[in-house]
Amino acid sequence: MVLSYRLLSTVTKLSLVAGSAYAESEYIWPNAKTDLLESMLYEQQGLGSGNSPATFIVPCEKVNFGTGRNGAAEWLRTAYHDMATADVVAGTGGIDASIGFEVNRDENPGVGFNETLVNLAAFLTPRSSMADLIALGAVFAANGCSNGNVTIPFRAGRVDAKGPGAPGVPKPEQPLDEHITSFQRQGFTPQEMIGLVACGHTLGGVHGVDFPEIVPVVKDPATDQNTQTFDTTNSGMNAFDNTVAVQFVNNVTQNPLAFGHNETTNSDGRIFNSDGGEVIGKMADSPSYFYQTCTTLLERMINTVPKGVTLTDPIQPIAVKPSKLFATINSNGTMTMSGSIRLIGPVTANPNRTVKIHFHPRSGESCTDTNTCTVSSNVASVGSAHVISGNPPLTFWWYQFSTVIPITQGVSGFDVEVVDNNNGVTNSTMYKNGGRGFPFDDMIVTQPKLSCSEIRDDSKLDSLKAIVHVPEPLNSTTPAVGSIPLNFAKVGPVAGSGYTLYNATIVNGVIPADFVNNFAGSYMRTYDLIASNSTHTVEREFNMMDGLNACPDPNIF
Mean pLDDT of 386-393: 57
Q: What are 460-486's pLDDT values in tens digits? A: 677 778 888 877 766 677 778 888 888
Query: What is d(CA 99, CA 86) in angstroms, rounded to the nearest whole number?
Result: 12
Contacts of 385 (CB under 8 A, 6+ apart): 44, 45, 46, 347, 393, 394, 395, 396
* Contact (CB, 8 A) for 460 and 48: no
Q: Which residues pair with 92 in a beta bridge?
A: 87
Residue, of 30 and 468, whose pLDDT is higher:
30
Report which listed range, 225-229, 238-242, 446-450, is most confident.
238-242
pLDDT above 90 for 458: no
Per-residue CA distances from 184 to 95, 169, 338, 480 (Å)? 16, 12, 54, 31
How is residue 311 annotated by DSSP?
-
* pLDDT, position 45: 77
Strands of 526-532's sheet in order across? 480-487, 463-472, 526-532, 537-544
CB distance 525 to 557 below 8 Å: yes
Collapsed DSSP state (helix, strand, coil) of residue 47? coil
Q: Give the pLDDT of residue 548.
A: 55
**Separation CA 6–CA 320 (nearest Å):** 33
Q: How large is the average pLDDT for residues 137-144?
A: 94
438-457 average pLDDT score: 66
Name the more confident of 203 and 372.
Answer: 203
* Half-sphere exposure (Cβ direction) of 428: Cα atoms closer than 13 Å: 7
Q: Which of 66, 73, 75, 145 is nearest to 114 (CA)?
A: 75
**Whether the Cβ atoms of residue 256 and residue 229 lie closer than 8 Å to each other:** no
* 57-61, 163-167, 221-225, 544-548: which is most confident: 163-167
**pLDDT value for 23:** 29
Which residues does residue 439 pair with via DSSP β-bridges, in sequence order?
Answer: 413
pLDDT at position 424: 82
Region 225-251: mean pLDDT is 93
Q: Is the pLDDT of residue 3 over 50?
A: no
**Residue 50 DSSP code:** G
- pLDDT bucket at 502, cuts 50 / 70 / 90: confident
For the stretch 143-174, pLDDT in tens is: 989 988 999 999 999 999 999 999 999 999 99
pLDDT tens readout for residues 328-353 = 888 888 999 999 999 988 777 788 88
Q: 480-487 and 463-472: which strand pairing? A: antiparallel
- What is the predicted pLDDT for the residue at 556? 38
Handedness of CA 56, 61, 62, 64 (dihedral sign): positive
In 220-286, which ranges are continuous DSSP H helix?
243-249, 267-272, 278-285
Distances (CA, A) of 395 to 205, 349, 376, 384, 415: 34, 10, 21, 6, 22
Give the pLDDT band of residue 381 (cuts 50, 70, 90).
low
CA angle 320, 321, 323 (to 5 degrees): 150
Q: Please state, in angstroms and rounded to a whole number, the distance separating the CA atoms of residues 497 and 415.
A: 25
Residue 204's pLDDT band (cuts 50, 70, 90): very high
Q: What are phi and psi of 470, to 5 degrees?
A: -140, 150
The phi and psi torsions of 416 (rounded to 5 degrees) equal -120, 125
More confident residue, 210 or 18: 210
Each residue's pLDDT tens digit, 520-530 = 445 677 888 88
pLDDT at 20: 25
Angular region, 251: left φ>0, alpha ψ -120 to 50, beta rest: left
pLDDT tens string 208-224:
999 999 999 989 888 88
Where does 33-175 have alpha helices with state H? 35-42, 54-57, 71-83, 112-121, 130-145
Q: Which residues contact 34 (CB under 8 A, 6 or more apart)?
A: 156, 312, 315
Report the range of poorest mean pLDDT among 196-205, 296-305, 335-344. 335-344
**44 falls in which pLDDT band (50, 70, 90)?**
confident
Which whole number is the average pLDDT over 225-254? Answer: 93
In this model, does residue 73 exceed pLDDT 90? yes
User: Three-state SS for 267?
Assistant: helix
Q: Hey, which of 4-8, 32-36, 67-71 has the most confident mean pLDDT?
A: 32-36
Say what the pLDDT of residue 256 is. 96
Proportion of the chain above pLDDT 90, given as a percent: 50
Q: What is the pLDDT of residues 93-103, one digit of tens each?
A: 999 999 999 99
- Name the pLDDT band for 15 (thresholds 50, 70, 90): very low
pLDDT at 547 over 90: no
Looking at residue 222, its pLDDT comes to 82
pLDDT at res. 55: 84
| DSSP-H helix ranges across 345-457 | 370-373
pLDDT above 70 covers a percentage of the chain that reads 83
pLDDT recorded at residue 383:
57
Residues 429, 451: contact at Cβ < 8 Å?
no
The domains of the chain, with CATH numbers, are 5-16+443-544 (2.60.40), 35-302 (1.10.420.10), 320-439 (2.60.40)
Per-residue confidence (pLDDT) for residue 529, from 0 to 100: 85
Strands (E) located in 136-209: 205-207
